[in-house]
Amino acid sequence: MTPHRNGMDPAKESILAGYSRDRHDLERWLKDADAADLRRRSDGTRWTNEELLFHMVFGYMVVRALLPMVHVISRLPVPAGQAFAALLNAGTRPFDFVNYWGSRGAAMIYNRQRMGRKLEKTITAITRRLHREDARSLARTMPFPDRWDPFFAPTMSLKDVYAYPARHFDFHARQLSFRQPLR
């Protein structure tokens, strides 16, 4: 990729723009929403708006945990990575259970007062890692548990993993059911 005028890889620039937008949107939603807005059931999920907001932040937290794993598994022989992805896909039902109930429970801890700071800290850490990646490392791929999330593909590059949380965040942002549209 050819760097932009500022010297940054356009793919990294696009990823970071998504992170910045999500950080800003979450901050605004948390500031503008009242307690009734946060308790309201979201549109198309079983979560409240506050639980869904945490789940959106959790997408970033998952990526922070995935990055070291992608660096390791992408260096293994492809069959080893495929076996690992198949094992994770076999655990989709327990994953779905933990994903749903974990977001419900965690929203009590990372509530409106804490989730903004958690997103900020997580994005800062991911951004630091992204700045250290070169084009070769961003192109590394590994098999993924594609049954875990609609944005997981059977094979994903490290660049895809960095881009994932903003895609996940945007998807779920459309499910928020605040009184007034906040986006």
Could you report the average pLDDT of every consecutive run of 10 residues in the chain (183 residues)? 62 96 96 94 95 97 95 95 95 93 94 96 98 95 94 96 97 88 52
Res 1: pLDDT: 47
Q: Cα angle at 19 between 108 and 28, to 5 degrees? A: 55
Contact 122, 64 (CB under 8 A): yes
Residue in 88, 85, 90, 62 with CA at minimum distance from that of residue 73: 85
Cα 176 to Cα 29, 62, 65, 71: the distances in Å are: 10, 21, 26, 34
Asked whether 103 and 54 are in contact (CB, 8 A), the reply is: yes
* CA proximity to 145, closest of 118, 164, 128: 164
Q: Could you tell me which of 61, 52, 58 has the C-alpha nearest to residue 30? A: 52
Q: Quick one: pLDDT at residue 36?
A: 94
